Structure formats: structure tokens, C-alpha cells
């Protein structure tokens, strides 16, 4: 399992959709699956961080991407953080022929502009057996 947190740059302050995009460098490997019910929105004000309860209809998951539709702008001096929990085991058994590793990256799109925050280097999975093959 891996968590991706975004919003730490204090960029997410308005209402509307925020898209967390996941991609990798091997067309044969699919994205990590998100853990059901584990996409969360947090409001940070000063040193306080509180979870914002969202209706299920405000969270959409599709092909490794998570979209959070934020209902209200953050109060002055506050910002939002989104956390998405991914299951790295969901790519187990997928074929990465010819590549000993697969590199996954995560970006966030806020109002048409991308930001990359908590995992700027992304995540690289090494396949058991060394020379590519199936993720175990």
C-alpha cells in the first residue's frame, strides 16, 4: 500500500474538481487500484487538520485517477489536502516484459494546472526475478 498526499503546497483552496492522476512508463502495466473508501479530503487551518466528510458522489475513481469535487472554497488562511491510498499489489501478475522496473508518477490537476508534490520522484517497482517479467 502507498499513500499519495497532495495540497501540501497550499495550492488547493477553491471549490470544484481536483484530479489526482497516476501514470507509469510501461504501457503493458495498468495503474495501481485505489483502496475503496480511502480517498479523503482534509481542511488545514493553522496547525489543525480536520477531515471533510464528502458524499460518495463527490469522489470518482477511474483507471487509476481520483477526482474529488470540493463543495466549498477553503476559509481564508486555510487549504485542502487530498489523500489517496493505492494498493501496489493490484499490479501483481501483470507482465512487464523487457523491463526490470516500472516507474509510477502522480500529479494533481487543480483548475487546469498540474502540480506534483508528495512523491516528486514517483515510485519505482522492481520485479522479482530481475530481468522483467511478472510483478509478484
pLDDT for the residue numbered 87: 77
pLDDT category of residue 98 using cuts at 50, 70 and 90: low
pLDDT at 133 over 70: no
pLDDT category of residue 132 using cuts at 50, 70 and 90: very low
pLDDT for the residue numbered 109: 85
CA 6 to chain CA centroid, Å, is 8
pLDDT for the residue numbered 72: 95
pLDDT at 130 over 60: no
pLDDT for the residue numbered 136: 43
Q: pTM of this prediction?
A: 0.77
Pull the grid cell for residue 106: 502522480
Tens-digit pLDDT profile for residues 25-60: 666 676 677 676 789 999 999 999 999 999 999 999
pLDDT for the residue numbered 57: 92
Per DSSP, what are the bridge partners of residue 129?
none
DSSP letters for 5-56: EE-TTS---SSEEEEEEEEES-TTS-PPEEEEEEEEEEEEETTEEEEEP--G
pLDDT for the residue numbered 131: 45
CA 119 to chain CA centroid, Å, is 10
Burial label, 92 (beta-carbon count in 10 A; 0-12, 13-18, 19+): exposed
pLDDT at 12 over 60: yes
All domains of the chain in start order, with CATH: 2-126 (2.60.40)
Distant-in-sequence, close-in-space partners of 115: CB < 8 Å, separation ≥ 6 = 6, 9, 11, 107, 108, 109
Mean pLDDT across the chain, nearest whole number? 79
Measured between alpha carbons, how far is residue 52 from residues 33, 66, 72 in Å? 23, 16, 10
Q: What is the rounded average pLDDT of the residues 85-109?
A: 74
Amino acid at each position: 500500500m502507498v499513500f499519495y498526499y497532495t495540497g501540501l503546497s497550499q495550492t488547493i483552496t477553491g471549490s470544484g474538481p481536483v484530479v489526482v492522476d497516476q501514470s507509469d512508463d510501461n504501457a503493458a502495466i495498468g495503474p495501481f487500484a485505489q483502496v475503496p473508501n480511502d480517498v479523503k479530503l482534509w481542511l488545514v487551518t493553522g496547525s489543525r487538520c480536520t477531515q471533510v466528510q464528502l458524499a460518495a458522489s463527490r469522489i470518482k475513481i477511474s483507471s487509476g485517477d481520483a477526482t474529488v469535487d470540493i463543495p466549498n472554497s477553503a476559509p481564508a488562511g486555510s487549504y485542502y489536502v487530498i489523500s489517496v491510498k493505492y494498493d501496489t499489489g493490484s499490479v501483481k501478475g501483470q507482465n512487464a516484459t523487457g523491463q526490470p522496473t516500472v516507474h509510477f508518477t502522480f500529479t494533481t490537476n487543480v483548475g487546469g494546472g498540474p502540480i506534483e508534490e508528495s512523491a516528486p520522484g514517483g515510485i519505482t517497482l522492481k520485479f522479482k526475478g530481475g530481468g522483467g517479467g511478472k510483478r509478484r
